Structure 1
Amino acid sequence: MWRFCVLTLRRHLPLAALLLFAALALEGQQVLAQDRPLSRNTAVIIRLDGAIMPFTYAYLERKLDEAKDDTVDIVILEIDSPGGELNASLDIAKMLSEVDWAETVAYVPSTAMYGALSGAAFAALGCERIVMGKRAAIGDAGVIESDGNNPFRYVPEKQRTHVTNRIVELAKLRGRPPALAEAMVEKDLDVFQVRNTKTGQETCMSQKELDAAKDAEDWEKGKPVQETLGGNFFEANGERAVELGLAESNAESREELFEQLNIVGTPKIIKWSAVDTTVLVLNHPLVTALLLIIGLVALYIEMSSPGIGMGILTAGLCFALFFWSRFLGGTANWLELVLFLAGLAFLGVELFVLPGFGIAGLTGMLLLGASLILASQGFVIPHTRDEMFTLIRSLSVLTGAMLAFFIMALFLNRYFGSLPILGHLALKPPTDGEAALEHTAAEQALAVGDTGRADSALRPAGRARFGHRMLDVMADGDFIAPGTPIQITRISGRRVFVEPAKEE
């Protein structure tokens, strides 16, 4: 019996060894496959440079849509920014955290002038992975405000609580130490390196986190994070950020980053386009004021010389550029456009249906002003000093544009007919001979009740034809369209007043 077992074992031993070797090799391949991320053939780089403004959010939103259309696997956000506007920074971080069609990687190179500071740190925390050069910087995101007496002032605790909660939730979502994210905003928060004695997990926690932890007895508090001591906002270089678990890895060049991410080929760089430059220029306060002035003056010219169409086309172009730049700049929505169109409608009712100036005209002007102001800012009611300054700037631009318009309107009202180009658009006054004939005819032949036809729009002044005679007349009441049959209602000196002829 034993002899038979030994012979059988010897006979099958090579086969068993071969099967065992194959099983071990297969398991090894599976382990390697799990440890090594799959190569990705598509990636794009989007640069986040300079101060963060509402325009920056809209810009990144457009670039992310472009990357999504390219069906990429990785979006690399290359950051070199000192931060900027608070709400825009938080919105950018939220937008990046909600990207589910690609992996988002924040890359802060050592060559960056600023790194990822203040609001730019929020954007980095919104990404799935943070890769930094060893000398790059991240953090220092204290919320400050400015006024005339103190250019930079740390905001009160009540105002920064919302920011702290948002940034802590973002860190938890991405599996980063919430205490380090909070220490970027709270300068008096001391953070410690801790270790779980049961699991061996190492992370960073604040004292209040340790006290509130359900397994507080399992955490061993180590040395404090030096960057959080002394009442400073937390800021760390790339090497330290990796050590503390805030960043995933270090990369000193794009090539090293591509190798870490197993990117094949050179990723596409989504660059700043001519449209982005145009939108940025049109959002400048001086250019905004110029657009408003030209648009208002063009409307005035159209009212002074109706029927030509150049004024209304120019005004339409100016206001279209204004709202287009605000839409792409991230400060306007459909509400502002609806308010603007409603304001024009009320003014139209006031001018053409209810002559004079009353409730409709005042409402129209208020709606127009509100739409132009709201389209220039990303909020309705200011809650911070920075928002108050933005509102003051918007009001200043609108007020300056209105003053310039009134000055130009007075100038055009006096010299319109003598200007080289615009003079051809205005109704020419009659020559001395024509005026003498007209006045003689008016004095000798015209009488109340005589009928004729409006030769131009009467708003209220204009020209009308009575038989073979052309006279200056005034609409007595509502404005009168060109070609409308009219009749004389009264004559006061050389002024002839008319109204639409009554149908018999």
Structure 2
Amino acid sequence: MPVRASLLCASLAVTLAVAQEPAAEAPGDLPSERIVVLSLTGEIDALSERVLEKQVAAALEVEGLRFLVLEIDSPGGELQASRNIAFNLANLEAVTTVAYVRGRALSGATFAALGCDLIAFGPGGQMGDAMPLRVFQDLSVEVAEKLISPVRADLKFLAEKHAGYPALCAEAMADPALTVHRVELRDVERGRVDVVWLDGEAFEQLRWSRPDDVLAEEVVCKAGELLSVNALQAQDMGFCAWVSRDLDELTRQLQTEFSTGPLERSRESVPAWVDVVRLITWWPVKSLLFVVGIVALLFAFATPGTGLPEVTAAVCLGLVYGGSYLIGLADYVEVLLLLLGLGLLLAELFTPSFGLLGLSGLGCLLASLVLSYQTFVIPDTSFEWATLEASAAKTLFAALLSFLGVFVAMRFLPNTRLLRGLVHQHTLSAGAGEGAASGRLTTLAPEGALGRALTVLRPVGKVQIGEQVVGAVAEGDFVDPGDAVVVIGHRGSEAIVSRRPEVQAAPPPGATATDEGGGSA
């Protein structure tokens, strides 16, 4: 009896203790959390990086955010932009990031996937082939190896950041020199069979040192190839956590794996202006806008005050540098070089320097265009040097188009109906001044001869000296129509004149009255 009573008391005590413990919260009673979906589709470039950066910043402000899902279907793109996206995602600590490889995650998109905390695949998902062939395909083996080395290092770092990702497989996605063996290896001490991934040298050493423990071997990536994996292969290697038919299934898998409450899913939309900016920053369009802007700028210098060339130049150059600024390719350096180049070109018009100022201004404009194609000023790595060469080639193409455009514009456009009124081509009639001639001097007017401006001189225009109408260049202030001028020199057949405001009221003795279009006696 005492023993039975003791057992009864102990049972009652345990029952009371269990009753006092709080019951585990049922999944339906857990608070709801948020999952935000971002998209990375199409070719990856600096614009993709900037848009995704803004989307991540907006998503992090969502209250109750638990998961950030990056839905990927991309063939890759620019290496630097892909790398920046990957490391920005890898550095996020306040949220769990999940890459959902819905279609392709090739080349640079592989970086983005490996930068996330978890990777899920769609049924047709594919990842790998991460060497930027468009940059390396024309390089020698030695130079290509130097460029591949930092890419391998980045992929290895991202793979080792996550437990279970085989670093060798990640490196083989970028380096065709690697061979990857899948080996089923017996672990005698633990009594199990492990799957390991080895390169050719490591596999040969293992085969000689532990031949009885190698149960099976398969070459999954041969030398000369880049590793690319599907959903099942990615699961076998440890890259893929789940295979999900769609986002709904992925949401359920996340909820089950992390024992969360209900997950409310939303998607960050891509801004409508992205497609427009991508078009104007595409390098052929960007080069064409630069060419049109330069040609319009020269027309504006040649026929100042007409309005259309000035507006065209401002719009085209504004799109070139404004679009680059929006995606982070242009900074104050490019803008300063642009303004300096325009200033030097203007100075060449007012201060003849045998073309030195003009060439310097053109050099500044081309330098600003080179920098607008890249994110750095001075190259440091071998990849940046390769990028600089590509930027210089694009700029050279734009420069050649500019020279061709200037030639065509000066040769044909002034004769078109649209631009005929912008360029002064006609000879003034006799009514504009007694004895007006055809516009060419038979004898150069002597220095000191007085005349009157017939058109605005900013600084080029027409003046009447005596009985002749001649082309003239104003030195100093701009000259308005009707202002008195004096000849102070010559440049070829053009007269260099200066404004004489004191002559406006009454011409000096010995000069033909300026209100009648006269000159010096």
Classify the TM-score, shorter chain: 0.7 to 0.9
Residue in 1 that maps onto 2:517: none
- The whole-number CA distance in structure 1 between the counterparts of 2:312 and 2:93 is 44
Say whether the 8 Å CA contact 1:297–1:409 is kept in structure 2. Answer: no
* Aligned CA distance change for structure 1 residues 359 and 105 (closer, same or farther; 3 Å): same
More deviation in 130-139 or 327-336? Answer: 327-336
* Aligned CA distance change for structure 1 residues 134 and 226 (closer, same or farther; 3 Å): farther
Residue in 2 that maps onto 1:105: 98
Say whether the 8 Å CA contact 1:194–1:205 is kept in structure 2. Answer: no
Residue identity in the other structure for 2:409: M
Say whether the 8 Å CA contact 1:193–1:225 is kept in structure 2. Answer: no
Q: 2:230 aligns with which of 221, 231, 237?
A: 237
Deviations 1:87-125 (A, max 9, x none): 33323222222233432211013xx2xx22232222110
1:301 counterpart SS class: helix
- The whole-number CA distance in structure 1 between the counterparts of 2:318 and 2:492 is 46
Residue identity in the other structure for 1:318: C
Residue identity in the other structure for 2:231: G
How many residues of Structure 1 are paired with residues of Structure 2 in the alignment?
478
* Aligned CA distance change for structure 1 residues 22 and 201 (closer, same or farther; 3 Å): farther
- The whole-number CA distance in structure 1 between the counterparts of 2:278 and 2:492 is 57
Residue identity in the other structure for 2:156: V
User: 5 Å matches for 1:384-403?
Assistant: 388-389=389-390, 391-403=392-404
Residue in 2 that maps onto 1:407: 408
1:326 counterpart SS class: helix
* Aligned CA distance change for structure 1 residues 476 and 391 (closer, same or farther; 3 Å): closer
Residue in 2 that maps onto 1:374: 371
Percent identity reads: 26
Residue identity in the other structure for 2:147: Q
- The whole-number CA distance in structure 1 between the counterparts of 2:266 and 2:286 is 34
Q: 2:40 aligns with which of 30, 48, 59?
A: 48
Q: 1:124 aligns with which of 113, 116, 138?
A: 113
2:399 counterpart SS class: helix
Deviations 1:470-495 (A, max 9, x none): 96552375564448764334699997
Give the RMSD, CA atoms, in angstroms. 4.5
Q: 1:185 aligns with which of 174, 178, 191?
A: 174
- The whole-number CA distance in structure 2 between the counterparts of 1:158 and 1:493 is 57
Structure 1 residue runs without a partner (length 5+): none
1:138 counterpart SS class: strand
- The whole-number CA distance in structure 2 between the counterparts of 1:153 and 1:50 is 30
Residue in 1 that maps onto 2:258: none
Deviations 1:373-405 (A, max 9, x none): 221345666857676455423421332133112
2:48 counterpart SS class: helix
* Aligned CA distance change for structure 1 residues 389 and 326 (closer, same or farther; 3 Å): same
More deviation in 195-204 or 134-143? Answer: 195-204
- The whole-number CA distance in structure 1 between the counterparts of 2:492 and 2:160 is 84
Q: 2:295 aligns with which of 274, 278, 297?
A: 297
* Aligned CA distance change for structure 1 residues 170 and 401 (closer, same or farther; 3 Å): same
2:373 counterpart SS class: coil
Residue in 2 that maps onto 1:257: 250
Residue in 1 that maps onto 2:429: 431
Residue in 1 that maps onto 2:74: 81
* Aligned CA distance change for structure 1 residues 291 and 125 (closer, same or farther; 3 Å): same
Normalising to structure 2: TM-score of the pair?
0.75
* Aligned CA distance change for structure 1 residues 294 and 329 (closer, same or farther; 3 Å): same
Residue identity in the other structure for 1:419: R
2:279 counterpart SS class: helix
- The whole-number CA distance in structure 1 between the counterparts of 2:143 and 2:108 is 15
Say whether the 8 Å CA contact 2:479–2:499 is kept in structure 1. Answer: no
Q: Does 1:90 align with 2:83?
A: yes
Say whether the 8 Å CA contact 2:51–2:270 is kept in structure 1. Answer: no
Cα deviation, residue 246, structure 1: 1.3
User: 5 Å matches for 1:32-47?
Assistant: 41-47=33-39
Residue in 2 that maps onto 1:160: 148
2:116 counterpart SS class: coil
2:38 counterpart SS class: strand
Q: Does 1:172 align with 2:171?
A: no
1:64 counterpart SS class: helix
Say whether the 8 Å CA contact 1:52–1:81 is kept in structure 2. Answer: yes
- The whole-number CA distance in structure 1 between the counterparts of 2:451 and 2:269 is 65
- The whole-number CA distance in structure 2 between the counterparts of 1:351 and 1:343 is 13
Residue identity in the other structure for 2:360: T
* Aligned CA distance change for structure 1 residues 489 and 323 (closer, same or farther; 3 Å): closer
- The whole-number CA distance in structure 2 between the counterparts of 1:119 and 1:481 is 59
- The whole-number CA distance in structure 2 between the counterparts of 1:79 and 1:73 is 19
Residue identity in the other structure for 2:180: D
Residue identity in the other structure for 2:117: E
Say whether the 8 Å CA contact 2:463–2:472 is kept in structure 1. Answer: no
Cα deviation, residue 250, structure 1: 1.8
* Aligned CA distance change for structure 1 residues 96 and 429 (closer, same or farther; 3 Å): farther
- The whole-number CA distance in structure 1 between the counterparts of 2:343 and 2:270 is 38
Normalising to structure 1: TM-score of the pair?
0.77
- The whole-number CA distance in structure 1 between the counterparts of 2:374 and 2:52 is 18
